[in-house]
């Protein structure tokens, strides 16, 4: 179809003024992709889909949402009431809001699987270090956007979650109080906080679009890694991205949307994992919920935070656990990329995935002495994993990698 379209006079007119044909050829119809990519390579396109869905649903929600903590006659607040109005009175408001709320969780799920793929197959290694680093920036901005967005419904979890996280910054020596004030805009979370979080929640996705553009550009310079983790140069090892991978990605999208739609329509709260029950209680600054936990996609880092008794060390550890992702390409020094040919790394990285899930579980549960120790051990392994990577090549006997595919 693309070939046919490119032969039209209209396209020729556009091409002379934009160079569209060269772009389409180099980026799509003649863009070489390894022929052995497995389904783990579907999550990039799914992440892009979720970004678009979040932006579109978000734009429509803003047509009704009101960012104000002013009290209303009903005894709640303007923001809380406007969300309830979207749910009850606005045509299809319930659908668009559930798409957005479930979409946030699905976005993170897809991105974490995308990152897990990178961990397992060594996609962050030379020459894709910068590609990985841009990806980590995307993750941080996503986490910021999610945090800002979570305040907007002005429920109990919104309020107390934001209280806890903004108080984290208070632990920074000297500047801490200043940073907290700049974030909160007052003595405690309140109307000014809600307004600035709304502004930033609108800004961050726009930043994401720009940086995702950089991510895709960087990918198209160094090209995709593959499950074998070897460099592919011969033409017979490659297939053009279009139509082969566009159709495979489309299949992935259809499969993914089936699950997404099921959750949106039949189980949008997802047992309190996607939308926490306490957030249907309007924010009350005089009463803390019995148990505060962030949404599941932030709980691993929350566990790292509370594994330390000193507030400052906890905050540093949490920041460090994210910052260390930037260093991953330089810590991992083995010449072999894929875990398929690295027996020790393979076990380590699978344990790392389990470890992050355990961290997430601990962060989501009410703190008990047992879970605290489990969380501390998991935190230790999280950092040990990264600390061991530089020394791994010294004793790991890698298997011979294949010459080609």
Partner 1 sequence: MTDQANQSRRNFLYVAAGGLGAVAAGATVVPFIGSMLPAADTLAASKTEFNVSTVEAGQLVTIQWQGKPVFVLNRTAELLKQVDGHDDILKDAESKAIDEVQAEWMDTPEKRKFRSIKPEYLIVVASCTHLGCIPLFKPTPGRKDWGNSVPEDWYGGWHCPCHGSLYDLSARVAKGSPAPTNLHVMKYEYKSDTTVVIG
Instruction: Give the residues lining the site for partner 1 (CB under 8 A).
Output: 160, 163-168, 181-190, 192, 196, 285-292, 306, 308-312, 314, 367
CB of 370 to partner 1, least distance (A): 11
8 Å CB contact between 176 and 169: yes
φ, ψ for residue 335, nearest 5 deg: -75, -20
CB of 183 to partner 1, least distance (A): 8
Q: If you search the block for the tokens 């935190």, which residue do you land on? A: 379
Q: Which is nearer to partner 1, 254 or 290 (CB)?
A: 290
CB of 184 to partner 1, least distance (A): 8
Q: Which is nearer to partner 1, 64 or 308 (CB)?
A: 308
CB of 179 to partner 1, least distance (A): 10
Q: Which is nearer to partner 1, 59 or 373 (CB)?
A: 373
**DSSP code per residue over 236-301:** GGEEEIIIIIHHHHHHHHHHHHHHHHHHHHH-TTTTTTSS-GGGGSBP-TT---S-----GGGHHH
Q: Which is nearer to partner 1, 225 or 378 (CB)?
A: 378
Alpha carbon distance 99, 53 (integer Å): 8
Q: Which is nearer to partner 1, 25 or 196 (CB)?
A: 196
Give the distance from CA 306 to its chain's centroid.
22
CB of 112 to partner 1, least distance (A): 25
CB of 165 to partner 1, least distance (A): 8
Alpha carbon distance 169, 255 (integer Å): 41
Which residues does 365 contact at the CB level (< 8 Å), separation at least 6? 293, 371
- Cα dihedral angle (170, 171, 174, 176), rounded to 10 degrees? -20
Give CA separation, 311 vs 37, 183, 238, 275, in Å: 44, 19, 52, 28
8 Å CB contact between 154 and 86: no
Give CA separation, 60 vs 4, 267, 274, in Å: 36, 22, 20
Give CA separation, 199 vs 161, 207, 378, 402, in Å: 18, 13, 36, 51
CB of 308 to partner 1, least distance (A): 8
Return the bridge partners of 155, or none.
282
Q: Which is nearer to partner 1, 227 or 289 (CB)?
A: 289
- Any idea how long the chain is? 405
Return the bridge partners of 240, or none.
32
8 Å CB contact between 159 and 146: no
8 Å CB contact between 295 and 273: yes
């Amino acid at each position: 179809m693309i070939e046919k379209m490119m032969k039209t006079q209209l396209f020729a007119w556009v091409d002379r003024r934009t160079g569209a044909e060269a772009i389409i050829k180099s980026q799509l119809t003649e863009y070489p992709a390894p022929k052995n990519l497995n389904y783990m390579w579907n999550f990039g396109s799914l992440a892009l889909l979720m970004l678009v869905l979040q932006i579109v649903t978000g734009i429509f929600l803003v047509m009704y949402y009101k960012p104000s903590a002013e009290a209303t006659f009903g005894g709640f607040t303007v923001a809380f009431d406007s969300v309830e109005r979207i749910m009850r009175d606005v045509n299809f408001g319930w659908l668009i809001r559930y798409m957005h709320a479930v979409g946030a969780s699905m976005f993170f799920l897809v991105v974490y699987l995308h990152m897990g793929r990178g961990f397992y197959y060594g996609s962050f290694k030379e020459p894709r270090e910068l590609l990985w680093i841009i990806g980590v920036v995307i993750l941080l901005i996503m986490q910021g956007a999610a945090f800002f967005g979570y305040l907007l419904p002005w429920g109990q979890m919104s309020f107390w979650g934001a209280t806890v996280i903004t108080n984290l910054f208070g632990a920074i020596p000297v500047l801490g109080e200043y940073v907290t004030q700049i974030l909160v805009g007052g003595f405690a979370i309140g109307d000014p906080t809600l307004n600035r979080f709304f502004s930033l929640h609108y800004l961050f996705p726009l930043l994401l679009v720009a940086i995702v553009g950089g991510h895709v550009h960087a990918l198209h310079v160094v090209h995709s890694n593959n499950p074998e983790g070897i460099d592919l140069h011969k033409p017979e090892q490659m297939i053009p991205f279009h139509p082969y991978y566009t159709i495979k990605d489309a299949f992935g999208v259809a499969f993914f949307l089936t699950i997404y739609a099921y959750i949106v329509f039949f189980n949008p709260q997802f047992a309190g994992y996607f939308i926490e029950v306490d957030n249907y209680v309007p924010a009350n600054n005089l009463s803390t919920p019995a148990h505060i936990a962030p949404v599941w996609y932030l709980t691993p880092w929350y566990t790292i935070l509370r594994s330390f008794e000193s507030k400052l060390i906890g905050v540093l550890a949490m920041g460090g656990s994210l910052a260390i992702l930037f260093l991953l390409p330089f810590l991992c020094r083995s010449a072999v990329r894929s875990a398929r040919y690295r027996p020790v790394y393979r076990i380590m990285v699978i344990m790392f995935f389990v470890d992050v899930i355990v961290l997430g579980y601990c962060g989501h549960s009410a703190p008990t002495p047992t879970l605290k120790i489990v969380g501390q051990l998991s935190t230790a392994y999280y950092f040990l994993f990264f600390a061991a990577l530089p020394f791994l090549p010294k004793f790991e006997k890698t298997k011979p990698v294949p010459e080609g595919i």
